[in-house]
Amino acid sequence: MKLTHLDEKDRPKMVDVSDKEDTTRVAVASGTISMSNEAYEMIVSEKTKKGPVLQTAVIAAILGTKRTSDLIPMCHPLMLTSVNCDVEELPELPGFKLYVSAKLKGQTGVEMEALTGVSIGLLTIYDMAKAIDKSMVISNVQLESKSGGKSGQFTRA
């Protein structure tokens, strides 16, 4: 299989999407962060010294989603029409699961944007709580679903 980000001389290139049809494209990604009980309780009760961790993580996730093309070299700058984030509290872990949904009508998908948003949101949680728990673990950053485009629908089983 030939990689689309390489030209005929195996040099890196950005894929030409100009001939692709505009379709509505949506991607949802998720990831988790596990931590100590103390860090979890301080975040949930909003008693960390750095302010509201989860609200800040949502804002960071949105910003990360919007700035993906600045971070991932072959990603196209996109006109996103929607970015939504949700944080699920996981007291049994303890930790949190962050979901990011990205949407647009265009010629290329938004999987990388959703994945980048999740990563940046989780890193923000780590940054804001690292004084409490440096052993936090970010894991399972993954695509949950995508729709639109030539490859069609994907849903993680």
List 89's β-bridge partners, or say none: 96
Sorted by sequence, the CB contacts under 8 Å of residue 114 that are 6+ apart come out as 27, 28, 29, 65, 100, 101, 102, 143
Active site residue 127: yes
Candidate list 70, 86, 127, 133, residue with the active-site label: 127
Burial 13-38 (b: 16+ CB within 10 A, else e): eeeeeeeeeebebbbbbbbbbbbbee
Q: Which residues are catalytic?
A: 127
